[in-house]
C-alpha cells in the first residue's frame, strides 16, 4: 500500500492570499501547501481521501485518472469543494462513484450537489453513491477501511485507519480531541498522519505539541504532521519533531 500526500495545507492553503510572512514568501516547494488530501493505492485499488478545492491541480500534477472510491473526513469546504472535479473520475465508469462519509456529511453533500445524487444521475456529471458508514469497517477492493470518529469543531468528523495485506495507515487531517475507542483504532500503525495546524493552541485543531503527545501515545512506526498552516516552516518543523516523525509536504509518498 502506498500513501501519496496530494496536499498538506490547512483550509486556506500556503501561501495565504495577501500574506507576506516568511513562509508565504518562501520559494522552497516544501512550504507550498495545497489543501489536504491523500491518495491510497495498492496494486488493484485506489482510494482518494477528501476532495478539496485543489483537486484538479492535484490530479493533473500526479496524473490521477481514476479512483475506485472516495472517502470524506467531513463537510468543511477545504475537504469537499472539489466535488465538481470528481466528474473526471466518473466519465469512464458504468457504476456510481462510491463516496463514503459520515451521515451528516452525506446529507450535506446531497444538499450542496443534489443533481449528483438524483436517480439516473445527470449526464456527464458526478454519478455519486453517497454511502453513510456509521463508523463500521468496510472493504474497498483489497483495502479494509475503518472509520475513526474524532472531535473537530461542531461538525461530525472521521479519520480513517486503512489496512491492506500486512500494511496499515491512519489519516486524521482535522482533529482536536480523540475518544479512547478511537485512539485504540489508530494505535500501532505503520504510519499515521495527524492534524498539526500551528504551534500555538487552537480551538478546533491539534497544535504541534498536542500532535507530538498523541503520536507518542499511539506509537506509529512513522508519524506525519499534516494540515499545516502558514506559520510553520517545513525545515524548522522537521528539526523540532522527534526522530520517528516528519512533516507532510505535497508529493510525499509513503511505501507501507
Binding site for Zn ion (CB under 5 A): 11, 16, 19, 21, 24, 76, 78, 174, 230
Q: What residues pair up with 50 in beta bridges, in sequence order?
A: none
Residue 129 or 202 with smaller CB distance to Zn ion: 202
- CA distances, 130 to each of 65, 101, 138, 234, 246 (Å): 21, 7, 14, 36, 34
Strand residues in 102-156 grouped as ranges (E): 128-132, 138-140, 143-150
Distance of CA 147 to the CA centre of its chain: 12
CB atoms under 10 Å from CB of 160, counted, come to 25
Residue 133 or 205 with smaller CB distance to Zn ion: 205
Q: Give the shortest CB-21-to-Zn ion separation in angstroms.
A: 3
Q: Give the shortest CB-166-to-Zn ion separation in angstroms.
A: 30
Residue 156 or 190 with smaller CB distance to Zn ion: 156
Q: What residues pair up with 88 in beta bridges, in sequence order?
A: none
Residue 24 or 144 with smaller CB distance to Zn ion: 24
> Which contiguous run of DSSP H or E holds residue 41?
strand 37-41
Q: Give the shortest CB-151-to-Zn ion separation in angstroms.
A: 11
Residue 16 or 132 with smaller CB distance to Zn ion: 16
Q: Give the shortest CB-95-to-Zn ion separation in angstroms.
A: 29
CA atoms within 13 A on the CB side of 7: 31
Q: Give the shortest CB-71-to-Zn ion separation in angstroms.
A: 14
Amino acid at each position: 500500500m502506498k500513501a501519496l500526500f496530494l496536499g498538506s495545507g490547512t483550509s486556506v492553503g500556503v501561501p495565504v492570499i495577501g500574506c507576506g510572512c516568511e513562509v508565504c514568501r518562501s520559494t522552497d516547494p516544501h512550504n507550498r501547501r495545497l489543501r489536504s488530501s491523500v491518495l491510497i493505492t495498492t496494486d488493484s485499488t485506489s482510494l482518494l481521501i477528501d476532495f478539496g478545492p485543489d483537486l484538479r491541480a492535484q490530479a493533473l500534477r500526479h496524473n490521477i485518472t481514476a479512483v475506485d472510491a472516495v472517502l470524506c473526513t467531513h463537510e468543511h469546504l477545504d475537504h469537499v469543494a472539489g466535488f465538481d472535479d470528481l466528474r473526471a473520475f466518473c466519465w469512464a465508469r458504468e457504476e456510481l462513484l462510491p463516496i463514503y462519509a459520515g451521515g451528516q456529511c452525506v446529507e450535506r453533500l446531497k444538499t450542496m450537489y443534489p443533481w449528483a445524487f438524483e436517480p439516473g444521475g445527470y449526464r456527464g456529471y458526478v454519478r455519486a453513491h453517497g454511502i453513510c458508514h456509521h463508523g463500521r469497517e468496510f472493504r474497498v477492493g483489497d483495502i479494509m477501511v475503518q472509520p475513526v470518529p474524532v472531535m473537530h469543531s461542531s461538525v461530525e468528523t472521521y479519520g480513517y485507519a486503512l489496512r491492506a495485506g500486512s500494511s496499515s495507515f491512519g489519516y486524521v487531517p482535522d482533529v482536536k480531541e480523540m475518544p479512547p475507542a478511537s485512539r485504540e483504532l489508530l494505535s500501532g500503525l505503520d504510519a499515521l498522519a495527524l492534524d498539526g495546524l500551528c504551534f500555538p493552541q487552537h480551538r478546533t485543531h491539534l497544535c504541534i505539541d498536542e500532535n507530538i503527545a498523541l503520536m507518542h501515545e499511539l506509537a506509529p512506526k512513522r508519524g506525519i504532521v499534516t494540515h499545516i498552516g502558514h506559520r510553520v516552516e517545513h525545515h524548522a518543523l522537521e528539526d523540532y519533531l522527534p526522530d520517528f516523525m516528519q512533516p507532510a509536504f505535497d508529493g510525499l509518498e509513503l511505501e507501507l
